[in-house]
Structure 1
């Protein structure tokens, strides 16, 4: 049984000292491929460089998280174009809208989001999408560009059946994280996963964030001091997704990996 983590922030500073160990633990947990998320110019460059050191195992995306939208410029777009020409870079993003904290003004987020979608359509690359507290406007913008996009995934989906249906109606894939393991916040997501078709579902950790609430790091063989999420916990997340969607875990591992490889166009 093999797993693919479609969203791993492996360039995060918490992985700096022991990345080798993180990758070893992922390998031991049968996480065979990981996709490193690019969140701004610097992190996208670092993600591509790291992926290039592990061909066939690591890939990356290139984009600006909505928190970082204010940093986006014409020069940044040129960097994204250069990165997208590299074989390791398989999607544009992370991009989208986040009205929860508005680290970048909403109007700036929307403009940069649209520019990412235009770039993805031009380059014929899928988009790696982020949305928080902006569902209606997010759907409106994606719908306006959907016919031009080759594909898209609503990464780190945390909402309920209604929002899932909206994304599926747009032909988007959906990525599910360890949020589903949280008995306090994950109830809507637990209901939603049963409605996500196999051909649209992928799994991810979004590490180092979103350590599953029901995981004891020590028992999981992880460094205890920082309670950091890792790709090695993806099978744990996968088992929860299988449980709440009423699927066999081996089938889920197989189909989600097939969907990921098809979506990102990798072997």
Structure 2
């Protein structure tokens, strides 16, 4: 069985409150050998790191503040993230970036929070786990001042256009692809865009419990996504990239280990 790495899993989400251990066990049985738990604010980053510590070398965590939570950003936030990032189970800064879709946090605060985390990642020489929704141009403008960080950064849950993916690849980013690609309605643009991702810049993820693959057979009654479904997502990625599932597994796993320095 090909081994896969899920680089984006929200295991701290309340939807997993009753069966987190079983979720990890099912993932392992389905060939997902390592998983990175997403931190979206200081509290969830601490929780992700604590869960990762319980499953050493299988679970890892990010530490960051999502743009939705940027409104909670204050003068002690970076100090708290820095302290978290010293833990060996924390392998990246993020989830951080910009989200102009719902504007849960004002744009100036989002940008301030984003740049502070870029500076922190640079200081600590850690990879970045990035978020961009409906903010592509401004995201790229900000990152242009931190261009040297792009080769150690992944644009997580990419759902954009051919033009956007070409821009990100030219800047040096890794690209994270989710089960969005499995949606015959909303995923058409992404199905075309993945053809332009070099295998050595590809990463795969579920973003569970969100984004349950629409074309998954025998969907769970709770409609919850989980890392055990990553092989299904990898298969669709391979189909639209025009490569084998084995290549997607091999390259994405190697890329994740290299980017996040996983054992």
Give me the TM-score of the superposition, normalised by structure 2. 0.98
**Which residue of 223, 240, 243 corresponds with 1:244?**
240
Partner of 1:183: 184
Indicate the residue corresponding to 1:15 in structure 2. 16
Query: Are positions 1:201 and 2:197 aligned together?
Result: no
Query: Unaligned 5+ residue runs, structure 2?
Result: none
2:175–2:203: 8 Å Cα contact kept in structure 1? yes
Bigger shift: residues 127-136 or 69-78: 69-78
- 2:253 is matched with which residue? 257
Counterparts of 1:31 and 1:239 in 2: how far apart (Å)? 14
Q: Which residue of 1 aligns with 2:228?
A: 232
- Cα contact 1:120–1:149 (8 A) shared by 2: no
The CA deviation at 1:171 is: 0.5
Counterpart Cα distance in 1 of 2:165 and 2:105: 26
Q: Contact 1:95 / 1:130 at 8 angstroms: preserved in 2? A: yes
Provide Cα deviations, 1:135-174, integer angstroms capped at 9, x if missing partner.
Answer: 0000111111122566110000001211001111110000
2:98 alignment counterpart: 97
Residues 56 and 89 in structure 2, CA contact (< 8 A), matched pair in contact too: yes
Extract unaligned runs of 5+ from structure 1: none
Q: Is this contact kept in 1: 2:162–2:189, CA < 8 A?
A: yes
Aligned-residue CA RMSD (Å): 1.0
**Aligned equivalents of 1:142, 1:37: Cα separation in 2:** 21
Contact 2:151 2:172 in 1 (8 A): no
2:36 corresponds to which residue? Answer: 35
Paired with 1:48 and 1:260, the residues of 2 have a C-alpha distance of 18
Is 1:52 matched with 2:48?
A: no
**Runs of 4+, deviation exceeding 4 Å:** none
After TM superposition, the structure 1 = structure 2 runs for residues 116-195 of structure 1, keeping only pairs within 5 Å, are 116-148=117-149, 151-195=152-196
CA contact (8 A) 2:151 2:173 kept: no
CA distance, structure 2, for counterparts of residue 75 and residue 113 of structure 1 = 15
Q: TM-score, normalised by structure 1?
A: 0.96
CA distance in 2, matches of 1:147, 1:21: 40
CA–CA separation in structure 2 for the residues paired with 1:38 and 1:140:
25
Please give the alpha-carbon distance, in whole angstroms, between the structure 1 residues aligned to 2:151 and 2:125.
6
Give the Cα–Cα distance (whole angstroms) in 2 for the partners of residues 148 and 132 of structure 1: 20
1:148 and 1:154 mapped to 2: Cα distance? 12
Q: Secondary structure at the match of 2:155?
A: strand
Mapped contact 1:33–1:58 kept (Cα < 8 A): yes
Contact 1:125 1:150 in 2 (8 A): no
